[in-house]
């Protein structure tokens, strides 16, 4: 027994057992924890802080390589910024999968893009990859077209003189040469990503939303206290704040799903046509409906051709329109939920995390559509790239107040940096 205990003792020492307590105490402040937090149950921390704990466990193992699969999912902006600042100075290799384009730009110095089962490597960040891929696709397309013209010309000669008494040998020779030529592949067929187009709608009155002296609590926690906000026609406002700060609650107050405890929330009186995309909008779809039937329920006067064309714009082709909603992926459900919102005219959109589950191309197409949208937008997002593309104003929930920054996301960052 004593011999066995000695073996375990030596293993414990070799694995750094006596050093572990010191290492844990050293890494806690780097992860943002206080000494008091060390004795707190993990279950008592939010998802973002639990992510920090999981990362700390990995770092204690002193890895040479970290694999991160969608590390920013469900994190608020504050935690994403912390994660970036933590990972950037690390002197180890990191391989990550992410749809967060801002995050990719900050972290990556190499991008591996997989298309049609073939991987392509680009030595640069995400923005470099986008530019270089466009250049590469253009070069490939021109080479392909040039070769196709030459092959067509040679084939016409072969077909014309194959049976000629004087030139048949030349025709056969050219045919053999064509067979030996290394064919340039056709540029990869691009997946037709969803095309988001909003219907025309009358202009609303200048005042779209006004919040006066709003106070509201949730489970004994005050989330708003005598706060005010005005949104005018044409504003595209991004609402940001930590998880649990009350962003989704504010939207539920605006659409009257929840009654405010104190204060007043007023919507525009003239021609206002509001559409609300909730964070769980995709989960609210009837799972036992067919995709095409959901459209018919919302547009009974549309022809089948119009319905199928519309669904095609959102990535539903051929037999996929006859799928049950329960058979759809998370991304497909999100696109379908957006299709149901967009098909109805609106001049005021409330969007709670509209890019969740969307692929990168779908996000970009939605950004472009919202940039061209002539109505008013009030949206919640943790996607900084999306916020920077769409918002012309930022509202931050801070200390139970709604603080307005009259500029885009970059303006907001500059102002915050000065305040800090």
Query: For 355-396, how does the pLDDT look when each residue is reduced to its tens digit (9 = 90+)?
Result: 887 878 888 888 988 998 999 999 999 899 999 999 999 999
Note the pLDDT of residue 184.
Answer: 82
Pairing between β-strand 221-232 and β-strand 207-218 as defined by DSSP bridges: antiparallel
Cα–Cα dist 117/131, whole Å? 21
Cα–Cα dist 363/370, whole Å? 11
Note the pLDDT of residue 127.
Answer: 92
Cα–Cα dist 75/119, whole Å? 29
Q: Which two tokens stand for residue 364?
A: 């970009």
Superfamily of domain 207-287+341-419: P-loop containing nucleotide triphosphate hydrolases (3.40.50.300)
Long-range contacts of 227-231 (CB under 8 A, 24+ apart): 227/263, 227/400, 227/401, 227/402, 228/402, 229/395, 229/402, 229/404, 231/376, 231/378
Chain length of the chain: 420
Are 77 and 384 contacting, i.e. CB atoms less than 8 angstroms apart?
yes
Question: Phi then psi for 115, rounded to 5 degrees?
Answer: -140, 125
| Per-residue 3-state assignment (H helix, E strand, C coil) for the chain | CHHHHHHHHHHHHHCCHHHHHHHHHHHHHHCCCCCHHHHCCHHHCCHHHHHHHHHHHHHHCCCCEEEEECCCCCCCHHHHHHHHHHHCCCCCEEEEECCCHHHHHHHCCCEEEEECCEEEEECCCHHHHHHHHHHHHHHHHHHHHHHHHHHHHHHHHHHHHCCCCCCHHHHHHHHHHHHHCCCCCCCCCCCCCCCCCCCCCCCCCCEEEEEEEEEEEECCEEEEEEEEEEEECCCEEEEECCCCCCHHHHHHHHCCCCCCCEEEEEECCCCCCEEEECCCCHHHCCCCCEHHHHHHHHCCCCCHHHHHHHHHHCCCCHHHHHCEHHHCCHHHHHHHHHHHHHCCCCCEEEEECCCCCCCHHHHHHHHHHHHHCCCEEEEECCCHHHHHHHCCEEEEEECCEEEEECCCHHHHHHHHHHHC
Does domain 2-126 fall under CATH 3.40.50.170? My reply is: no
Closest CA to 146 of 190, 183, 188, 171: 183
Look up the pTM and report it: 0.77
Instruction: For the chain, state the CA radius of gyration.
Output: 29
The low-confidence residues of the chain, meaning pLDDT below 70, are 1-2, 12, 14-18, 187-195, 420
Cα–Cα dist 21/13, whole Å? 13
Are 129 and 111 contacting, i.e. CB atoms less than 8 angstroms apart?
yes
Q: Which two tokens stand for residue 361?
A: 């191309």
Note the pLDDT of residue 15.
Answer: 66
Cα–Cα dist 215/251, whole Å? 14
Cα–Cα dist 294/289, whole Å? 6
Question: Phi then psi for 274, rounded to 5 degrees?
Answer: -100, 140
């Amino acid at each position: 027994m004593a011999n066995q205990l000695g073996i375990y003792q030596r293993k414990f020492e070799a694995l750094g057992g006596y050093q572990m307590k010191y290492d844990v105490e050293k890494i806690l402040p780097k992860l943002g924890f206080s000494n008091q937090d060390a004795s707190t149950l993990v279950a008592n921390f939010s998802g973002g802080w639990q992510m920090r704990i999981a990362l700390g466990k990995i770092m204690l193992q002193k890895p040479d390589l970290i694999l991160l699969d969608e590390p920013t999912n469900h994190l608020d902006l504050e935690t994403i910024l912390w994660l970036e600042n933590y990972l950037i100075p690390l002197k180890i290799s990191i391989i990550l999968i992410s749809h967060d384009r801002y995050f990719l730009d900050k972290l990556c110095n190499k991008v591996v893009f997989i298309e049609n089962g073939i991987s392509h490597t680009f030595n640069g960040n995400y923005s470099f990859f986008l530019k270089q891929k466009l250049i590469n696709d253009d070069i490939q397309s021109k080479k392909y077209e040039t070769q196709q013209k030459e092959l067509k010309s040679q084939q016409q000669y072969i077909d014309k003189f194959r049976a000629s008494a004087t030139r048949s040998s030349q025709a056969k020779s050219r045919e053999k040469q064509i067979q030996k030529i290394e064919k340039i592949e056709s540029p990869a067929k691009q997946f037709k990503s969803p095309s988001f187009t909003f219907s025309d709608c009358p202009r609303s009155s200048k005042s779209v939303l006004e919040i006066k002296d709003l106070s509201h609590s949730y489970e004994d926690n005050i989330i708003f206290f005598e706060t005010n906000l005005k949104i005018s026609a044409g504003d595209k406002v991004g609402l940001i704040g930590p998880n649990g700060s009350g962003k989704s609650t504010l939207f539920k107050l605006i659409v009257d799903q929840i009654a405010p405890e104190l204060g007043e929330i007023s919507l525009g009186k003239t021609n206002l046509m509001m559409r609300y995309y909730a964070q769980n909008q995709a989960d609210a779809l009837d799972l036992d409906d067919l995709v095409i039937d959901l459209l018919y329920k919302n547009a009974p006067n549309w022809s089948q051709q119009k319905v199928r064309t519309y669904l095609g714009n959102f990535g539903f082709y051929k037999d996929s329109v006859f799928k049950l909603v329960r058979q759809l992926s998370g991304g497909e459900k999100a696109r379908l939920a957006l299709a149901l919102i967009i098909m109805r005219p609106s001049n005021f959109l409330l969007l709670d995390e509209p890019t969740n589950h969307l692929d990168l191309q779908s996000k970009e197409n939605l950004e472009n559509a919202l940039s061209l949208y002539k109505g008013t937008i009030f949206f919640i997002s943790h996607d900084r790239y999306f916020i920077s593309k769409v918002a012309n104003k930022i509202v931050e929930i801070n200390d139970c107040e709604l603080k307005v920054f009259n500029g885009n996301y970059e303006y907001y960052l500059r102002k915050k940096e000065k305040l800090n």
